[in-house]
Structure 1
Amino acid sequence: MTPPVTPRRIAFLLPHFRTGGAERVVLHWIEALDPARWQPVLLLGRLDGDLLEHVPPYVTVAAIGGGRALRRPLRIARSLAAHRIDVAYSATSAMNLALLAAPTRVPRITSEHTPPDAFRRESKWPWLRRAATRLLTRRAAAVAVPTAAIGSVVRGAPVALVRNPVLRTAPPPLGDKPLHGTHLVAAGRLVPAKGFDTLIDAAALLAARGQPFTLAIHGDGPLRTTLQAQIDDLRLGDRVTLAGHAAHLAPLLAGADLMVSSSRREGFGNALIEAMALGTPVLAARAGGPETFIDEAANGFLVPPDDAPALADTIAALLANPARRLSVRAAARDTAARYTVAASVAEFTALLDGVLAATPGAAPRGQHRLNAKVTAPAP
């Protein structure tokens, strides 16, 4: 008789649990992991975030603690020991470094959601962060990435391609879209990487041409006051709205005639996949991630990043040509169908199994060690 398998305890480390791409990925995973095999533990720098209310009640949530960043690795090691963690996953670049610096033998999986060099260029002391990353990445059992493009520039550890878990179910059948609608929607944290200042400049160019449109930007963040001042200075208050955080984004995406992503840096673009699944055409800047799943004029549209005139020109052309804009909907839905929670969880659990099998003494309790490998994504 095969002995029962004790669930392995997996820690997910983040600074907080406010709405964001990495946070939603972790939430989808902990909701969908098989509780007979895995017991998630959510370790946060601080117990903060609107997504906390969605964490299943059987998931342990604990604070790593604040204070000086140099002490965080030791606090992480103590947390991993206190919660008897079998394998740990970190979901942000800063937490990656803290986890890898922690004095622990727990196998560690880090993640990169954007090209590492692009992120480091925007961070404080980029040379120091680059050196620390190169030194510490060799301690990772694996680095999880959502796209092969990001994986191709990761060095120092095995790379595992794990698609983002965006859709809980397969996309619904396509409904009708208005032929001559002019409502634009954008979504994301109000931070420099999202390029909403470029989008607002593009909106000003459209308004100057007399182009009919409205634009709602959903999300919140530190640039809210700055972006609102830009809207006011450009006299766009009757056209452009900072709509704040949306608890339910899907109906807002479904009601739009075009979704626009103006990011300067975007590792993937979960909201774009959501829009594509709902039949809303998408226009995205080539910011790293979107061009890995958007084929120009086949399932969506692409523009150069940080280029307000090009963005305005493309928006105007798509609004003026409804047939071209709507022609991508079926292919976009097919693309979105690849990014379900079930498909992502299957890849993530295969990664966990591979890491535990390759870690001496870490085979699942009650089972023989698995002959699994962590492999790099295909080019």
Structure 2
Amino acid sequence: MIDSRTSPDTPRARTLCLFTGTLAAFAGAERATATLANALAARGHRVHVLSLWGDTPVFDLSPGVVHHAMFRERVAFRHHYVPIVRQVRRYVRAHDIDVMIDVDPMLALYTLPATFALPLRRIAWEHSTYASDLGRRARRWARALAARRYEAVVVLTDADRDAWQAHHRHARAQFVTLPNPLGIPIPDTAPAPAGERCILAVGRLVPEKGFDRLIDAWARIASDAPGWQVSIVGDGPLRDDLLRQAQALGVADTVHVLPAVANIAQHYARASIYCLPSRRESFGLVLIETKAYAVPVVAYAADAGPRALLRHGVDSLVVDDGDIAGLASAMRQLVGDAGLRRRLGLAGYAHARHFRADAIAARWEALWDAAAPALTEAR
């Protein structure tokens, strides 16, 4: 058997650096970074993850991935700007990095001066929708720099690719749509329906994730769904608020707020329905992960990510954003129809297979493979 890492059809091994804020947080961008790093290492590349802070990643990295954090704890980075730029430059030169991937375009503010005149390929990886600039002028500047000075900007949906193109008409960068890789192993066959009557939601306990909207909708149907429970898995500042809301609405005995875990697959395996009540969602990696376990989805069409990933009536039930009654009705429909849950779940499982980490990593290789002659000459 030919080793895929040495196959003539496989791009030659490169030395890559994923530059990120941290890997010490339970969040989608961090999970996607760890997953891509592992997948690229498995394909024979020399992979580094350089973090601004956090010595200990919360997601497992393979032995082929080197992780280095510049600071043990989070600091006021604006007060450490010059030292960070110097550290990045030393790291890139010491390890002879071929390709620098900024896991947030904001990092271009460090990467561009740090890699000035160095022969490497720069790629920015955007995990937010273009509209989500968080009101920060620095983010807009960083995006403009990445568009003008980088070889590629990777976004998660075609809608965001179109937004980048519309706002940066004279860009040097190529704008490329690449979905996040599936962060958990996909079962070889579609799992059987879960025995537990559980409606699952996963994410940071922050307003954008809309878990308050899930509790509102659940309170409308809980009395019609005996034996069913809602499990919200995540960490964040709204934990106590959500528990108080459930108490006030009389559903505290059926709503559970559980801590975030690295092994999130254990929750998908027990779920019968997944709910995405987000107010804003750039991609929604949890949607692909839950589909990998053949769990049907009910969701708001709140943003580009869910609209791109969900197919109403095929693998999910999608309702208008903010329609609490509609969300409650969709959950009631799934609770009461095991056949519908299974049909949607099987379609979702088939869709999730397209997001396997190795397949997504192969598409990333194409971004820098086009620049192979230039990189070779520069070396």
Q: Same fold (TM over 0.5)?
A: yes
Aligned match for 1:24, one of 31, 47, 66: 31
Residue 128 to residue 74, structure 1, CA distance change in 2 (3 Å)? closer
Tell whether 2:101 aligns with 1:89: yes
Q: CA deviation at 1:220?
A: 1.0
Give 1:187 deviation, angstroms: 0.8
CA–CA distance in 2 between the matches of 1:326 and 1:58? Answer: 39
Partner of 1:133: 143
8 A contact 2:99–2:121 mirrored in 1 = yes
TM-superposition CA deviations, 1:121-161 (whole Å, max 9, x none): xx2x3455335533553122211123222212113321123
Q: Shift in Å at residue 45 of structure 1?
A: 1.6
In structure 2, relative to structure 1, the CA distance for the partners of 1:244 and 1:33 (3 Å cut) is same
Query: Which of 149-158 and 69-78 deviates more?
Result: 69-78
Identical pairs, percent: 30
Unaligned runs of 5+ in 1: 366-379
**Cα distance in 1, alignment partners of residues 181 and 146 from structure 2:** 27
Moved more, 132-141 or 332-341: 132-141
Aligned-partner Cα distance in 2 for 1:35–1:274: 21
- Write out aligned runs for 1:271-350 (5 A): 271-286=286-301, 287-350=303-366
**Does residue 63 of the first structure (1) align with residue 69 of the second (2)?**
yes
TM-score (norm 2): 0.82
- For residues 349 and 37 of structure 2, the distance between their equivalents in structure 1, rounded to whole angstroms, comes to 26
Q: Does the residue aligned with 1:51 lie in a helix, a strand or coil?
A: coil
Aligned counterpart, 2:276:
261
Q: 1:97 to 1:232 in 2, by over 3 A?
A: farther
User: Contact 2:315 / 2:345 at 8 angstroms: preserved in 1?
Assistant: yes
Aligned to 1:112: 126
Q: Is the 8 A contact 1:114 1:288 kept in 2?
A: no
Whole-Å Cα distance in 1 between the matches of residues 250 and 362 of structure 2? 49
Task: Indicate which of 171, 176, 182 corresponds to 1:160.
Answer: 176
Shift of 1:109: 1.0
1:149 aligns with 2:159: yes
Structure 2 Cα separation of the partners of residues 202 and 97 of structure 1: 42
1:61 is matched by which residue type in structure 2?
H
Number of aligned positions between the proteins: 352
Q: Are residues 114 and 215 of structure 1, via their aligned partners in 2, closer, same or farther at CA, if it must alter by over 3 Å?
A: same
- Counterparts of 1:308 and 1:36 in 2: how far apart (Å)? 45
One-letter amino acid matched to 1:174: A
Matched, 1:223 2:231: no
Amino acid at match of 1:109: I
Change (3 A) 1:43 1:234: same
Q: Which amino acid aligns with 2:101?
A: Y
- After superposition, the Cα gap between the structure-2 partners of 1:59 and 1:127, relative to the gap in structure 1 and judged at 3 Å, is closer
Residue 233 of structure 1 deviates from its aligned partner by 2.9
In structure 2, relative to structure 1, the CA distance for the partners of 1:198 and 1:358 (3 Å cut) is farther
Task: Decide whether the 8 Å contact of 2:50 with 2:69 is kept in 1.
Answer: yes
State the TM-score, normalizing by the size of structure 1.
Answer: 0.82
Question: Per-residue deviation at 1:302?
Answer: 1.1
Contact 2:156 2:179 in 1 (8 A): yes
Shift of 1:280: 1.2
Q: 1:249 to 1:36 in 2, by over 3 A?
A: closer
Judge conservation of contact 1:186–1:218 (CA < 8 Å) in 2.
Answer: yes
What is the rounded CA distance, in whole Å, between the counterparts of 1:330 and 1:35 in structure 2? 29
Determine which structure has greater relative contact order: mean sequence separation of CA pairs < 8 Å that are 6+ residues apart, divided by chain length. 1
CA contact (8 A) 2:152 2:174 kept: yes
1:271-291 Cα shifts (integer Å, max 9, x gaps): 221221211111122122122
2:204 aligned residue (189, 200, 210): 189
Q: Which amino acid aligns with 2:287?
A: L
Aligned amino acid, residue 331 of structure 1: A
What is the distance in 1 between the residues matched to 2:43 and 2:305? 34
Kindly report structure 1 stretches of 4+ aligned residues shifted beyond 6 Å: none
Mapped to 1, the partners of 2:151 and 2:157 lie a distance apart of 18
Where in structure 2 are the equivalents of 1:27-42 lying within 5 Å?
27-34=34-41, 38-42=45-49
Q: Does the Cα contact within 8 Å between 1:19 and 1:50 map onto a contact in 2?
A: no
